Structure 1
Amino acid sequence: MRTIFFILLTLCSTLSLAGKKSFKCYEFEHFNYVSIDNSNIEEFPDYQCDDAKRFDDLLGEVRSVSPINLYGVNLFLSKRKPKKGKNDIDFNHVNMGFNKDMPEVSKHVDAIFIHEVGHSIFHQYLLKEISYFSNLYDLDRKKDSLFNTLLERNSLLSDTGKCESPECLKWNAENSNIFSDIRKTKLEMEDWYKNNKKKIFILTRLAAPYHELFADIVAAAVLNDPEATSNALYDLLKVAIPCRSMKYSSECLNDTQGDHCLYSGVREAIWNSLISPALSNGDVKNAIEAVLLIIKGEIENELDNALENDDWIYNPDLYFRSFKSKIH
């Protein structure tokens, strides 16, 4: 979790991302908005807002098993071959490569997308449930509410990006303070981060391997496939990474893939004892919450220890063994 710099939305329907033009779509049930890359038209087919609907449907499936009320997810679809996704959790912004002329890899793209949304669930859950970060959670929710309000204005702009319609002018009159509210919220969040650097540093370090593990759990649970992520990576990257499978088990840390696999030794136990039975009895949400509760307890205990001891040393082997002992 890096310092949050809140983005003031552009007041036109197109924007430039890394020098590339994109257009925004707003009419979705679950996304705040979707940005679609409008470059590389020669290499890729033209894209429309409807091309993002499949991801909106997937987000709905993820939300149905999320133990928290997931808020503020946005999507940027870039015209490139699907390989990896990215989630900027400071902004709840999922970035996906997507080629609609490659339906043969759609299930793998789904796995990557769900994995990235899993990061948002985990991030929001920790902020909400760990008392040290409750104020930050409240500010983040406020930021999202302002963000959504501003999106309403964007949807009322003309094709040339101007606020000319009676509806848009009415919106301006009713929300005249929104930009000052945005600036105030931005400053409040920056102040929070300045005053809580140690807490954020420790949480970021402790949470990193759990982040990756949990995101893979969500992908496997939603797709009912313990090898959803590992198969996706194999087919898209042509690299075998068995420690990303929920069938993987080990008594030791796995440092072959950094944080992505560090705690992979618990994957098979989590799948067999929690997720697979839940898929059979339709209780996936509670199973995912059970995983989160165990992780939260582990992080809270070590966070307290770290904040009370100036000579605290990060010890992932100790945390892994403690975590593994809690999975039944």
Structure 2
Amino acid sequence: MRKRGGSSPPPRTTLPIDPSWYDFFILIVPMRVLSLCFLLFPLKLFAGLTCSQLFNSSTSIEKPVITEVQIESFSGLKASQVEMTRNTIMGINAIVGNNLKVPYSVKLEIERQGDNAEFNWSDTIVFPIQFLVNGKPKHPKYAQTILAHEYGHYIFSLNLRDSIKNYAEFEQQAKMATVYHEDVRKNSDAYESAVIQLAKAKKLQDLALIEELKRKVEDKEKAFGKSSEKMDELNDLVKKSVFTRISVLSYHELFADIIAVMKENSPSAMSDALRSASIKDKDEKTSIEGRNFLNRIRLEGWNQSEPHIFFAPTRKFIWDHILTNPRYNQDSGALIKQIFFVIQTEISSRIHERSFELNPEEANRQLIDRLAQHFP
């Protein structure tokens, strides 16, 4: 457990718990958060709708599912901040209703401030109560949209493993490939280092050292060869590993952003939170604007593989054709369930068809086509 500032024991609060228990699904790569924002005024949409009118809470159950919330924090966390945090979790549960699984419990490690948050793929979310962009504090309300995004990851993980047959086995194989890949890299580096050392020893004409390094080069070459042969045998697993680490993570980011957008009732929630006049880097600006559901991004030639914006072109389609469509947004729980169904079907299809190497343009086009078929 991380150390927190202050000498007092961390405060802890709980909500009543639901008796059901759910399995947890673990991805390979820890996720670094770029989070969301809170708009102070209702945003006018189209057809006379305001954000407050856009999404109706799930109507499929009378009350939202209760999730136990355990909080560990720095000394000095205010009761109002604790209550706001609990309300964020319950607010998302109200959106989801009983249409998707929500966690039996969630552990929140709340930091005093920071520009980063993460879901640890087990049961813990780490986030700052004071969100920073380029070292400058944002409005404290933004911390709750960061939490909403991370909680969206939790919900996606929980339901993905439950809905895709043999996904846990697939994930374990991908982990194995990652381990072997790292083994090859280390052995390759060690072999190259030994070769360089041997070349230097020959220049110095140090015969004893030369003989020692020759043996070292031979040993490293054998180790590198063996690990490379293993990787050839596991070539398909390597592709699975890349698919898991990049593509599935990108679907994760898309779903988590959707949860946050629905929670905040704002299509530009993420980009508003991340935008700062002090940010000058072009790539960083592209990353920020890529999370705006109002931003029309050209699909042709889209090649950004960073998971947070991998599906940037798809976001605009989701906003225009699904989230703002009165045919679908009358029941938020049913809507988010259907969106999840389409995404998990796409992932499952790619696993079944061994379609592990789609580029960002192809992956966006394929997902948009699937969404269009499901939401005509």
Following the alignment from structure 1 to structure 2, what is the Cα–Cα distance between the partners of residues 117 and 264? 20
Q: Structure 2 matches for 1:160-199, cutoff 5 A?
A: none
Which of 270, 277, 296 is matched with 1:229 structurally? Answer: 270
Q: How many residues align?
A: 241
- Given that 2:6 and 2:74 are in contact with CA atoms closer than 8 Å, whether structure 1 keeps it comes out as yes
- Given that 1:77 and 1:95 are in contact with CA atoms closer than 8 Å, whether structure 2 keeps it comes out as yes
More helix per residue = 1
Which of 223, 236, 251 is matched with 1:210 structurally? Answer: 251
* Deviation of 1:286 (Å): 1.6
Q: Which runs of 5+ in 1 are unaligned?
A: 1-14, 39-45, 138-196
Question: Aligned to 1:73, what secondary structure does the other structure show?
Answer: strand
- Given that 1:253 and 1:263 are in contact with CA atoms closer than 8 Å, whether structure 2 keeps it comes out as no
* Deviation of 1:314 (Å): 4.9
Counterpart position of 2:167: 133
* Higher RCO by CA contacts (8 Å cutoff, separation 6 or greater): 2
* Deviation of 1:321 (Å): 1.5
Q: After superposition, what is the alpha-carbon deviation per residue over 1:167-201, rounded to whole angstroms, capped at 9, x for unaligned? A: xxxxxxxxxxxxxxxxxxxxxxxxxxxxxx87676
Counterpart position of 2:317: 269
Which of 56, 73, 85 is matched with 2:106 structurally? Answer: 73
- Given that 1:108 and 1:231 are in contact with CA atoms closer than 8 Å, whether structure 2 keeps it comes out as no
Counterpart position of 1:51: 81
Counterpart position of 2:34: none
Question: Aligned to 1:244, what secondary structure does the other structure show?
Answer: coil
TM-score, normalization: structure 1?
0.63
Q: After superposition, what is the alpha-carbon deviation per residue over 1:68-108, rounded to whole angstroms, capped at 9, x for unaligned? A: 1211321111112x43321112x2211111149x9971332
Change (3 A) 1:293 1:59: same
- Given that 1:209 and 1:261 are in contact with CA atoms closer than 8 Å, whether structure 2 keeps it comes out as yes
Following the alignment from structure 1 to structure 2, what is the Cα–Cα distance between the partners of residues 126 and 255? 26
Tell me, yes or no, if structure 1 residue 117 matches structure 2 residue 151: yes
* Deviation of 1:278 (Å): 5.5
Counterpart position of 1:159: none
Q: Structure 2 matches for 1:22-41, cutoff 5 A?
A: 23-29=10-16, 30-38=67-75
- Letter of the structure 2 residue corresponding to residue 95 of structure 1: V
Following the alignment from structure 1 to structure 2, what is the Cα–Cα distance between the partners of residues 24 and 243? 37
Following the alignment from structure 1 to structure 2, what is the Cα–Cα distance between the partners of residues 18 and 314? 42
* Deviation of 1:236 (Å): 10
- Given that 1:112 and 1:232 are in contact with CA atoms closer than 8 Å, whether structure 2 keeps it comes out as no
Counterpart position of 2:330: 282
- Given that 2:328 and 2:335 are in contact with CA atoms closer than 8 Å, whether structure 1 keeps it comes out as no
Larger Rg: 2
* Deviation of 1:49 (Å): 5.5
CA RMSD across the alignment: 3.4
Q: Which runs of 5+ in 2 are unaligned?
A: 17-66, 172-236
TM-score, normalization: structure 2?
0.56
Counterpart position of 1:188: none
